[in-house]
Amino acid sequence: MDLRQMQYVVALADERQFTRAAALSGVSQSGLSAAIRTLEDELGTALFERSPRSVQPTDAGQALLPFARSMIAQATAARDAVVQATHRLSGTLRVGSEQCLGVVDVSTLLERFHRRFPQVEVHFEQAGSHDLVGRVRDGELDLAFVATTEHLGVLAATELGREPLVLLVPPDHPLAGRAAVDWSDLPASPFIDFVASWGVRPLTDAACAARGVHRRVRFSVGDVHALLDLVNRGLGTAIVPRHVAAKPEAARLSVLAMPADAPQWVVSVVTSAGSSPAPHLLELLELDPAGQPGSVETANVRRNGNGVP
């Protein structure tokens, strides 16, 4: 058993599907599947039960998980110790992020950075993506994790991942139980949405306007959990990135696919020039939140501005 196999086991156990686990691990789905089967052959037992809808760890898989997580944590701590011993980075790093981006765990990333570079003073703030882009452009932040591709100008932007949008409706809503929604269905219900500075709001507004769809947004919020609470109370429907629909607070809601021509929700990190500590934080994006290589879908990484592919 090697570290890479343990990383794949943990990713698959956490995500319960090969597609997402492979994306988080920076490997093809077939590569992940082959690696898991090789490990199962080596151990002489199945580690996961596969079905068309999900993947579940077997008893043997559950028994292996604590050791796999421990092995990954020890490898991460070892790398961090070496970096800390050989790099004496100091200064200030100013970071911003929109809430609940899904494709990147900003808190864990900052924890790892602090552990590696304890002499760097880290400042962090949470805000809407459009506000954060402006603050990076004005030099008030060194980098920000955002869910927008608009108004970036010359800022360097690295795409970290993208997801489809979905519609959340209360369980007693007329659309509940349907697999998908049409654009013509949207005006029938009041909406709960995020404030205009959040990345998904102007994305949805522009998509609806382009198709002549007039939405009635009754509630505007600046918090994911407040949005889910209002939908659960039957006060409206909401268009959200797919990972929001997987939160426990959304368990009783119906999730409908948006039309095929709906835009995708894109998460990027945008950076300003001249920040010394910022590149060291970006280097950690090549590791997943547990310290595993390849958390970013390298095949989907794109840059604009003064970045390079």
Say whether 256 sits in a helix, a strand or coil: strand
Average pLDDT over residues 152-174: 91
Q: Say how far apart CA 286 and CA 26 lie, in whole Å.
A: 9
Question: Tens of pLDDT along 186-217?
Answer: 998 899 999 999 999 999 999 999 999 999 99
Beta-bridge partner residues of 303: 158
| Number of other residues whose CB lies within 10 A of the CB of residue 50 | 12
Judge if pTM exceeds 0.85: no
- pLDDT class of 87 with cuts at 50, 70, 90: low
pLDDT at 14: 86
User: Which tokens in the block code for residue 116?
Assistant: 């590696």
Q: Say how far apart CA 240 and CA 112 lie, in whole Å.
A: 29
Is there a contact between 129 and 198 (Cβ–Cβ < 8 Å)? Answer: yes
Helix (H) or strand (E) holding 56: strand 55-57
Q: Say how far apart CA 272 and CA 282 lie, in whole Å.
A: 12
Residue 153 has pLDDT above 90, yes or no: no
| CB neighbour burial string for 148-179, b if at least 16 within 10 angstroms, e if fewer | bbeebeebbbbbbbbbebbbbbbeebebeebe
Residue 303 has pLDDT above 80, yes or no: no
- pLDDT class of 85 with cuts at 50, 70, 90: low
pLDDT at 297: 37
pLDDT at 17: 85
pLDDT at 88: 64
pLDDT at 135: 92
The residue written with tokens 């077939």 in the block is 30
Is there a contact between 267 and 101 (Cβ–Cβ < 8 Å)? Answer: yes
User: Which tokens in the block code for residue 296?
Assistant: 């970013």
| Number of other residues whose CB lies within 10 A of the CB of residue 121 | 13
Phi and psi at 274, nearest 5°, equal 90, 5
Q: Say how far apart CA 153 and CA 131 lie, in whole Å.
A: 14
- pLDDT class of 223 with cuts at 50, 70, 90: very high
Distances (CA, A) of 226 to 98, 222, 230, 234: 15, 8, 6, 13
Q: Classify residue 82 as exposed, middle or buried by CB count within 10 Å of its CB (0-12, 13-18, 19+).
A: exposed
- pLDDT class of 289 with cuts at 50, 70, 90: very low
Q: Say how far apart CA 265 and CA 250 lie, in whole Å.
A: 19
